[in-house]
Amino acid sequence: MIVVMNNGANRQDIDQVLDRLQSLGFKIHLSEGVERTIIGAIGDKTILNEVALEAMPGVEKVVPILQPYKLVSREFKEHSVVKVGDLEFGGKALHVMAGPCAVESREQLLETAESVAKSGATVLRGGAFKPRTSPYAFQGMEEEGLKLLAEAREKTGLKIVTEVVDPRNVELVARYSDILQIGARNMQNFFLLKEVANIDKPVVLKRGQSATVEEWLMAAEYLMAGGNYNVILCERGIRTFETFLRNTLDLSAVPVAKNLSHLPVIVDPSHATGKWQYVKPMAMAAIAAGADGLLIEVHPNPAQALCDGPQSLNPENFDSLMNDIRKMAAIMDRSV
């Protein structure tokens, strides 16, 4: 950490900062220049948040040098492979999670599951508890939906991923699902993160729509600090001034997150674009950018979907996408 004193800082201001840092166990380097005095401080980066140095007289700004996360960092571990049964995220194989936004009925779910399995998906997605912008919108089938997901797993061999939205339901969801999903709106719902950290199931952690990559990794740090090391990051679009599509898919976040952390990264082009016509080019681009997998919305009849129909592929389009993904995998030295 570098503390930059402002050019009106006096001896007493500087000494107070030095005392504060030393009392917290930091090692100090002082550099007194003509225009500014600069203090370098080396110590436990995880306690920086506790130190309100910018509130001290004479301090102009504090510049962190090290990233604020530890367990997520590639300095902690070079590379992680997250296992879901026999599937490996972050290994050579790409994995595609596919299915409807929401579980709506037994027929809808089983039909989708069989179809995406045939096309090459390895994980079935489907929401049982739906966080909806409007209180008047369909809110999900709840436990009944979880049971249908489990039945679809039985029938198809697909693994199951579903969102957990409430700390009170974490154990319930974990009883049925192979992977827990933390949605974009809950990326900084720290009390939910702490609960999920206690569960022995892999987690797909979606990036919040206004979260920096660093904040996303800090949310992963919450999970790991709480004991759950099986985190799969998922980029799903950020909010910008451009509103033609729902969000702006930030594909550079894929190589950035893989460079800063050791965790696997997948991409959800369905939520990012909000329009099914753009799902294929963005899915292809995601793999080209280095993603380890995809999360794709598929519905047997998108125009009748209770949730996110406009962004759902129908089974034919999903099958066509999988064919193209296989070609892409080949040149990226990956398999599907």
Residues in 88-127 that interact with a copy of itself by CB under 8 A: none
- State which residue, 86 or 242, has the beta carbon closest to a copy of itself: 242
Instruction: Please report the sign of the dihedral spanned by the C-alpha atoms of residue 82, residue 246, residue 323, residue 304.
Output: positive
Report the alpha-carbon distance of residue 230 to residue 327 in Å, rounded.
Answer: 29
Q: Minimum distance between the CB of residue 296 and a copy of itself, rounded to whole angstroms?
A: 15
Q: Minimum distance between the CB of residue 46 and a copy of itself, rounded to whole angstroms?
A: 4
Q: Minimum distance between the CB of residue 155 and a copy of itself, rounded to whole angstroms?
A: 26
Q: Minimum distance between the CB of residue 290 and a copy of itself, rounded to whole angstroms?
A: 5
Q: Decide: is 318 part of the binding site for a copy of itself (CB under 8 A).
A: no
DSSP 189-244: -HHHHHHHHTSSS-EEEEPPTT--HHHHHHHHHHHHHTT---EEEEE--B--S--S
Tokens found for residue 46: 């995880």
Q: Which stretch binds a copy of itself (CB under 8 A): 108-116, 120-128, 149-157, 255-263?
A: 255-263
| Residue whose tokens read 């045939």 | 118
Q: Which of 119, 189, 230, 270 binds a copy of itself (CB under 8 A)?
A: 189
Q: Minimum distance between the CB of residue 113 and a copy of itself, rounded to whole angstroms?
A: 20
Q: Minimum distance between the CB of residue 175 and a copy of itself, rounded to whole angstroms?
A: 18
Tokens found for residue 180: 């827990």
Report the alpha-carbon distance of residue 260 to residue 206 in Å, rounded.
Answer: 17
- State which residue, 84 or 98, has the beta carbon closest to a copy of itself: 98
Q: Which of 185, 300, 317, 319 binds a copy of itself (CB under 8 A)?
A: 185
Q: Decide: is 317 part of the binding site for a copy of itself (CB under 8 A).
A: no
Q: CA dihedral in degrees (302, 303, 307, 308; nearest 10)?
A: 70
Spatial neighbors of 121 by CB under 8 A, at least 6 apart, are 96, 97, 98, 99, 158, 296, 318, 322
Q: Which of 203, 249, 265, 295 binds a copy of itself (CB under 8 A)?
A: 249
Restricting to residues 19-38, name those near a copy of itself by CB under 8 A.
Answer: 20, 29, 31, 33-36, 38
Report the alpha-carbon distance of residue 317 to residue 319 in Å, rounded.
Answer: 5
Q: Which of 104, 221, 235, 292 binds a copy of itself (CB under 8 A)?
A: 221
Q: Which of 105, 245, 300, 317 binds a copy of itself (CB under 8 A)?
A: 245
CB-hemisphere CA count at 13 Å for 11? 0
- Beta strands 293-297 and 95-99 are parallel
Q: Decide: is 40 part of the binding site for a copy of itself (CB under 8 A).
A: yes
